Amino acid sequence: MSTIDAWVARQRERASQLPGAALPWLARRRADAIARFADLGWPTSRLEGWRHTSLAFLDQQALAAPAFAHPAFALATLRAAFDEGDHWLVFVNGRFAPVLSVTGMLPAGMKAGALSEALNSAPDAVEAAFGSADDSASPYALNLALCNDGAFVHLARGTALEQPLHLVFIGATGAADTHLRNLIVADANSEATVVEHHVGGGATLGTVVTRVQAAQDARITHVKLQQQDAQAIHLAQIEAEQARGAYFASHSLSFGARLARNDIRTRFAGEGCETLFNGLYHVDGRRHVDHHTLIEHARPLGTSREYYRGLVNGNARGVFAGRIIVAQDAQRTDAIQRCDNLLLSRLAEADARPELEIYADDVKCAHGATVGQIDEDALFYLRARGIDTDHARQLFTYAFAAEVIERIAHAAVRKRGRGLLLSSLPGGARMEALQ
């Protein structure tokens, strides 16, 4: 029997208990979202954007709630890798955990807290940033219909956050599915780094939508570290809109989950915008990871750089589909898109599809992709200098992936990224000793 009706029934049962249930605008959007989900169903390979990542199996699969260690232990391990002055908002099983959260002294003009609380204290601000299910893929429509919590961050004009704000989502027992929505609103000339962590087992199915609104000359860096356990299904969307002169950087590091899908997109709504999309994924066993990106150059003088690299081992599969659209009015656009994949086994599979769609005539754009194995000549070069074959392969694999990590500007976050990379690679402990 199909699970679609069960999801619709679940939403109706939960609707009155969800945060903001008494807000008419939110009730309407949730009703529209669940109707859209029911109409579309789970994406299958018949849809062009999902032909490598069908979710048809979710139409028949009952979800179970896996066990996980106490969240305090997971958080302590995580916080030990970062600076004392960082700010932490922690969510357990999709709900805000104030006892575990430490925001410290935030700068004047900044608010950071739970979305569930902001729906009561600042409903108008949430409404303006919340988004709708129009044109959303069905998993993200389901997210809007069922989202229970997430973070709400507002940076007033000219506010600069010196230390990163960490949004930590920890899974524990008792939740078969979680649906999170994060809203980041950056007013003119504001600046912040937001690090989104997804750790542990948590829900079998998790959907996450993170929305970023960057006003004129705002600078927002978003780093996502996904390291969930092997049974997790992680479906996520990051969507940004940039006003004149705004800068948005998205760093996506995917090291966990049995199936992870990341849809990342931004739109240049003003002149002179700049963006960096930077990603690394490592999959092994029979795991599957998919990054779909979209950069819309809607206005002139925009600059975008997009670099993704994948390490694919065992019977795993890595997918990248990137699209850059340059509108007719977006003259003097400068865009580069690149995806490179390293196959570490004979059965590994990688699909890379970069696309440029250009309607302007005064542009500088380039794109490319590679899929291959470690160069045997390069291995021979190292072996001739006394390095054994296994160590030589580890060196090349790490060097291939580390280039992505080095683009992260913040030193502590960059160090954490290196640690995650090394812990995921065979022989990583040996490599770490050389750092």
Residue 198 has pLDDT above 90, yes or no: yes
Of 270, 293, 322, the position where a domain reaches its end is 270
Token code pair at residue 8 = 């619709």
Residue 309 domain flag: no
Q: Which domain holds residue 60?
A: 4-270
Residue type at 101 in one-letter notation: S
Token code pair at residue 371 = 């899929």
Of 240, 270, 300, the position where a domain reaches its end is 270
**Segment 45-76, tens digit of pLDDT:** 999 999 999 999 888 766 765 656 677 878 88
What percent of the chain is modeled with pLDDT above 70? 94
Q: Count of alpha carbons within 13 Å of 279, Cβ hemisphere only? A: 32
The per-residue pLDDT for 430 is 62
Token code pair at residue 49 = 């954007």
**Segment 72-114, tens digit of pLDDT:** 878 888 888 888 889 999 999 889 999 999 998 999 999 999 9
Query: Which residues have a Cβ under 8 Å from the Cβ of 125 and sit 6 or more positions away?
Result: 118, 152, 154, 185
DSSP 103-161: --SPPTTEEEEEHHHHHHH-HHHHHHHH---TT--HHHHHHHHH--B-EEEEE-TT-B-
Residue 218 domain flag: yes
> How many residues does the structure list for the chain?
435
Q: Does residue 310 or residue 376 have the better pLDDT? A: 310
pLDDT band at 1 (very low <50, low <70, confident <90, very high): very low
Are 77 and 215 members of one domain?
yes
Residue 282 domain flag: no
Measured CA to CA, the distance from residue 232 to residue 199 in angstroms comes to 10
Are 265 and 379 members of one domain?
no
DSSP code for 102: B
Are 231 and 380 members of one domain?
no
How many domains does the chain contain in total? 2
Mean pLDDT for the chain? 92
**Segment 303-337, tens digit of pLDDT:** 999 999 999 999 999 999 999 999 999 999 999 99
Are 224 and 94 members of one domain?
yes
Of 320, 283, 282, the C-alpha closest to 398 is 282
Token code pair at residue 69 = 């260690």
Of 250, 270, 290, the position where a domain reaches its end is 270
The per-residue pLDDT for 89 is 97
pTM of the model: 0.94
Residue 239 domain flag: yes
**Segment 235-247, tens digit of pLDDT:** 999 999 999 999 9
Residue 349 domain flag: no
Residue 193 domain flag: yes
CA angle 202, 204, 205 (to 5 degrees): 105
Residue 293 domain flag: no
Contact indicator for 164, 194 with CB cutoff of 8 Å: yes
Strand bridging mode 87-92 / 95-96: antiparallel
Rg (CA), the chain: 21
Helix axes 138-146, 4-14, angle to 10 degrees: 20
Measured CA to CA, the distance from residue 298 to residue 428 in angstroms comes to 43
Residue 16 domain flag: yes
Taken in order 253, 424, 175, 104, the sign of the CA dihedral is: negative
Most confidently modeled of 65-74, 169-178, 255-264? Answer: 255-264
